[in-house]
Amino acid sequence: MEANRPIHPHDHHHDPSPGHGASGHQHGRVEPHRRRLRHRLAHLITPHSHQTGDKVDAAMETSREGMRTLWISLVVLGVTTLVQAAVVALSGSVALLGDTIHNAADALTAVPLGIAFLLGRRAANRRYTYGYGRAEDLAGIVIVATIAASAGLAAWVAIDRLLNPRDITHLGAVSAAALAGFVGNEWVARFRIRTGRRIGSAALVADGLHARTDGFTSLAVLLGAGGAALGWRAADPVVGLLITIAILFVLKDAAREVYRRLMDSVDPALVDTAQAALRDVEGVRDTGPVRMRWIGHALRAEADIVVDPHLTVVQAHELAVAAEHALIHAVPRLTAVTVHTDHIPTGSDPHAALAHHSHRPGAV
């Protein structure tokens, strides 16, 4: 229930419990036989549960899958970084050094994100009533700071080499290390993006896109090696500066994603989907504001529906359950919904007592 709403007998917040399982949903009064049949078929095709234990287990399973992806990625990028660092020590290539720094920073982003996944498994309590999913957003801030630091270090090394030119050696090894960086990053990118989309983790998807960009910066090192082979001594540090610019673009995109999460941004299409699903529920006359926010890699929502004024408390409660159930089916990664029922106006405004508390956000 919204904080600035009066306590309403028809407000319904679904904290899944045995009494609200799939078999406990009473749709007879609000759905015709055809709708119930279609709903049961949907359950057979895409089964899910509303039991508390099942949802906790599902959340822990997604976190475990995310953890596996992170640690495997850490090993792959760690090996790639060690190989490149050895070639840097051998050749003195500043472009390869910039790429190595970037790969090392990308590998280390697995640490804060892994901690966030572990924290996200903890159950909600009286202090953290929504759980610990926001730890992913804090991990995002650490990731952005890490990318910024890697950009600064790569730029400093490249500028220093421009001011103090030096020949690089072992160009074949530099080229091989650059290719190894590309292959390692592209494999990690595909792995992270695939897992992130499957479990609904925007942070993991963003980290995968970051790795993909790293792969292309590795290929850029080949340009520096080619320029050096042709006798252009500045080619290596110039490519190092270009890699720094590429890191800054990644930084911009990562910072934007983290900012949006911190500001509770969601895809407007999800709100459209939710409102359409509510309007399709038998007995819902209209919809009010719909609000959503990400808590880690799960969505929570608040929705207002308008119903007939003659419904009993029991009927309004059944309709709220049906509306909530429709939203859970329609919106991916939605795990909890608060549904508030309003009735079609019959005279005086039932919310008049709140008129002097006019800080309610605008309707969506």
Rounded to whole angstroms, how far apart are CA atoms 188 and 339?
A: 41
Rounded to whole angstroms, how far apart are CA atoms 340 and 350?
A: 13
pLDDT given at position 359: 55
Percentage of the chain exceeding pLDDT 90: 18
Q: Assign domain 17-50+266-354 to its CATH architecture.
A: 2-Layer Sandwich (3.30)
Rounded to whole angstroms, how far apart are CA atoms 320 and 34?
A: 20
Asked if residue 279 has pLDDT above 70, the reply is yes
Mean pLDDT of 328-348: 88
The residue ranges of every structural domain in the chain are: 17-50+266-354, 52-262
Asked if residue 144 has pLDDT above 90, the reply is no
Asked if 288 and 306 count as a contact pair (C-beta separation under 8 A), the reply is yes
Of 71-75, 88-92, 188-192, minimum mean pLDDT range: 88-92
Mean pLDDT of 241-256: 83
Does the fold of domain 52-262 match that of domain 17-50+266-354?
Answer: no
- Specify the CATH number of the domain 52-262: 1.20.1510.10
Q: How do residues 214-232 score in pLDDT, each as one tens digit?
A: 777 777 777 777 777 777 7
Asked if residue 141 has pLDDT above 80, the reply is yes
Diameter over CA atoms, the chain = 87
